[in-house]
Chains A and B, each alone.
Chain A
């Protein structure tokens, strides 16, 4: 059941109505039931997978929590009798048992994800290698990736690790925990929430609040606008260009990059707007996942502002633990001795960065395109880190820091760089993508674009006008947003202006949304990751 389908809208209306009719203490049960109904539309086998993840994670966390309690009670009872060393040894024994439990559950949860997501990728690589030696081939497994598995698995893993780290006690109620993992608005494309942020909000009752509901519905509409008016309309151009790389080279590759960047932004942020809007109607505040990423002045900044909850997840659960692990500390010591203080210091940080970006790439999809995409991002970040002394020299020499034109240059550069790397999502494979990169320089011919070529990419003149209108509105909203919530600002306006704006948005979606006969909108791009 897609967010943009009629079924989903009916489903939402039913959930909203029931939610505020029933007493607050039962609201979480309704949300749990609604989440499983929503998920069952994607297939019962998927429900089985998520249920197994929920149960294993729940039991693991409860066990870890129980060990903690035992430890505290035992230490309290024997405080006087024990020496410092004995207490430390006891703590270490408990920690080791907790660790075994954690590792088992992590291997289980991530194992399901790995088997379902990467088996066919591994088989295809084995087959490619086997072909070199004229050996036989292995047939692919017939498995479909459960909807949202990458997101809910990460949420479950984050919870488990937090409980292990003693950040909060485990949730003892299986039903409540199941809701945290399966909460339907965020199940399919995030944001990836943390239990200490979302849990309590899900379980406490919420009274009907007209402002929340109104702001939530506006956010949902805004999401539909981005998805239907911009993302789905621009898509044919991206498809035409990237699926026929023999015809569309040079300047068209650049058009493809920029259009895909716009499509992905409108698609993903539109989906997240719908998610956050639905939660808001229910009185629940989810973490923001974007902070106007295309206004970033560097790649590192872009990644702090794009898909924020994924970035912080990788930082807290992969980057930090890897970079301060025993192994990395040893590497750090070794590299300092070997390469000197200055270079040696950087080795563990950069090595961890490579690991994180490899993981981020492969998380997005089981293909070499995503691995290369991750590593290219990593390369850009490391190169810009290494160029720091040059930047310092440059800013000393030329007084341009903070100047509008220079900032514009930085934003434009980051946008183009990120768009160029991101196009790896849609080209057939890595060699084709690199051939297309090269063609931008070798086959550049701006004249090709004019003389009607743009109108042969799947969009009419009217489509381009609608797109332009949509993009102008999207950019304007982003600009206004820099000084605070646009919806709050609208809320302060006179009712007549406010309702005219809402009606305008609604009509724009109906009139300008990309629909066709039997139209049921397109899959959100991030649902597939």
Chain B
């Protein structure tokens, strides 16, 4: 989780990623950020987030993103 928060903070240093729950709905992360994030996650955790998982529910909070990573790790 800490590594993920670090990745997110590098994208937007001014956002409180531990508490923010509407990263997509409040338009904090845009499509450029999503792609950077997916590439970084691939590097850090070795999982490929497939395109059908790019839905707001999976990216609205750091917690949701982390859950997605764990789910994908389990499936591998």
- The A-contacting residues of B in range 1-44, CB under 8 angstroms, are 27, 30-32, 34-36, 38-39, 42
B48 contacts partner chain A, Cβ-Cβ < 8 Å: yes
A324 touches B48 (CB 8 A): yes
A321: chain B residues within 8 A (beta carbon): 51
Q: A165-B51, A165-B52, A324-B49 are in contact. Are A345 and B31 (CB under 8 A)?
A: no
A461: chain B residues within 8 A (beta carbon): none
- The B-contacting residues of A in range 305-361, CB under 8 angstroms, are 315-316, 319-321, 323-324, 329, 332, 345, 348-349, 352-353
Q: State the main secondary structure of chain B at its contact with A.
A: helix
Chain B nearest CB from A102 CB (Å) reads 12
Return the contact of A300 from the options B30, B35, B36 (Cβ within 8 A).
Answer: B30
B72 contacts partner chain A, Cβ-Cβ < 8 Å: no
CA gap between A165 and B51 in the complex, in Å: 8
A447 contacts partner chain B, Cβ-Cβ < 8 Å: no
B32 touches A324 (CB 8 A): no
B38: chain A residues within 8 A (beta carbon): 324
B36: chain A residues within 8 A (beta carbon): 345, 349
Q: How many residues does chain B have at the interface if contact means C-beta atoms less than 8 Å apart?
A: 16
B27: chain A residues within 8 A (beta carbon): 304
B64: chain A residues within 8 A (beta carbon): none
Q: Which of A167, A320, A329 has the most CB of B within 10 A?
A: A320
A329 touches B42 (CB 8 A): yes
- The A-contacting residues of B in range 50-76, CB under 8 angstroms, are 50-52, 54
A166 contacts partner chain B, Cβ-Cβ < 8 Å: yes
A385 contacts partner chain B, Cβ-Cβ < 8 Å: yes
Chain A nearest CB from B38 CB (Å) reads 5
A324: chain B residues within 8 A (beta carbon): 35, 38-39, 48-51
B35 touches A349 (CB 8 A): yes
B48: chain A residues within 8 A (beta carbon): 324, 329
A315: chain B residues within 8 A (beta carbon): 31
12 further interface pairs, Cβ-Cβ under 8 Å (given A167-B52, A324-B39, A349-B35): A165-B51, A319-B31, A320-B51, A320-B54, A323-B35, A324-B38, A324-B50, A324-B51, A329-B39, A329-B42, A345-B36, A385-B32
- A selection of 11 A-B contacts at a CB cut-off of 8 Å is A300-B30, A304-B27, A319-B31, A323-B35, A324-B38, A324-B49, A324-B50, A324-B51, A329-B39, A329-B42, A349-B36
B: residues with CB less than 8 A from A are 27, 30-32, 34-36, 38-39, 42, 48-52, 54
A: residues with CB less than 8 A from B are 165-167, 300, 304, 315-316, 319-321, 323-324, 329, 332, 345, 348-349, 352-353, 385
